[in-house]
Amino acid sequence: MNTVYLDGQFLPIDQARVSVMDRGFLFGDGVYEVIPSQDGKLVFLDLHLARLNSNLKALQIDYHCEMQEWTDILSRLVAEHGGGRCSLYLQLTRGVQQFRSHVSAPGVQPTRFAMVMQPNEGTRGMRVITLPDTRWHNCEIKAITLLANVMYQQEAKRQGADEALLVRDGLLTEGAASNVFVVYGTQVHTPPLEGILPGITRRVLLELLHRHQVDCRELPIPVEQLARADEIWLTGSTLQIAPVLAVDGRAVGNGEPGTAWRRALHWYQRYLQVRRGGQDVTSNRIGVPAGRGTGC
């Protein structure tokens, strides 16, 4: 039986209960993270908790995730799952309130929930469609209110695609559950951090590309420029870096995963190994390239 964590307790999933007065249930008033685990080790947990804490602060939810406490909780869930490759889902809502009111009452305790999600989808070639980005203006918050994202991915599936690339004012923003990188010759472009989620994988990949002297820029990407892309990549914690094979039914490059993608994935996976080996967890951690916001 899958064990989950709920407000201080480890329980079988079918015994975990949340009140119908929880503001997460009534309003979608909460935030979440998806944290990969490989060989029993949590990947970039410090970066995920930093983003979560930043989001909690932005929503004025009075809770701070302590690194040691959440390392212990999530590690225990991974161990009970049997280790291996999986992802952890961690959700915090503003908590349970006696009356339904948009305005939250003082003293409400957040509801803390975590579970193992499996299987990890892993890296694979993706077919995508483009759709208008109709979401709100606070997409930098990893909110549990994912209705628009759900609709985009349902539409992608209906059209036989794996992901939707979103377009606002003629510019690419991100995927429904991923960030996007576009390769033109030797240059790699990714949309700037405006109205998108500051993805952990995006951030790590940007830093690795800079380290390897790849000409990588955070620039607005007009959707019509996708037609001349040599490669397009999607990034996400469970996807890692995935090559896009086709956009709206039209092949990207020769329709095969590209050589730049192969190299980037190699750097990324090697970096994961180094970091997991304990050499790089706090002392030489990925920094934020100067002048770029992270939202973390």
CA 79 to chain CA mean position, Å: 23
Alpha helix positions (H), the chain = 23-27, 45-58, 67-81, 147-158, 200-211, 259-276
* x/- letters, 29..48, toward ligand PLP (CB under 6 A): -----x--------------
Can you tell me which of 31, 116, 129, 200 binds ligand PLP, judged by CB under 6 A? 200
Q: Which is nearer to ligand PLP, 96 or 139 (CB)?
A: 139
Q: Which residue in 128, 37, 117, 120 sits closest to 83, CA to CA?
A: 37
Q: Please report where in the chains the tokens 């690795």 appear, as a residue.
A: 208
For ligand PLP (CB under 6 A), the number of binding residues is 13
Q: How far is the CB of 15 from ligand PLP (least distance, A)?
A: 28
Indicate if 57 belongs to the active site.
no
Can you tell me which of 93, 111, 153, 235 binds ligand PLP, judged by CB under 6 A? 235
Can you tell me which of 95, 110, 191, 236 binds ligand PLP, judged by CB under 6 A? 236
Cross-strand pairs, 11: 4
Q: Does 197 bind ligand PLP (CB under 6 A)?
A: yes
Q: Which is nearer to ligand PLP, 16 or 146 (CB)?
A: 146
Q: Beta strands of 111-156 (E only): which ranges?
A: 111-117, 126-132
- Sort 169 into a burial class: Cβ within 10 Å, 0-12 / 13-18 / 19+: exposed
Can you tell me which of 37, 55, 120, 179 binds ligand PLP, judged by CB under 6 A? 179
As a whole number of angstroms, the distance between CA 104 and CA 94 comes to: 8
Q: Which is nearer to ligand PLP, 29 or 174 (CB)?
A: 174
At 87 the three-state DSSP class reads: strand
Q: Which is nearer to ligand PLP, 87 or 97 (CB)?
A: 87
Encoded tokens for 144 = 């549990």
Q: Which stretch binds ligand PLP (CB under 6 A): 77-85, 87-95, 156-164, 195-203?
A: 195-203
Kindly list the residues in this chain that would bind ligand PLP in the complex (CB under 6 A). 34, 174, 177-179, 197, 199-202, 235-237
Which residue numbers are catalytic? Answer: 142
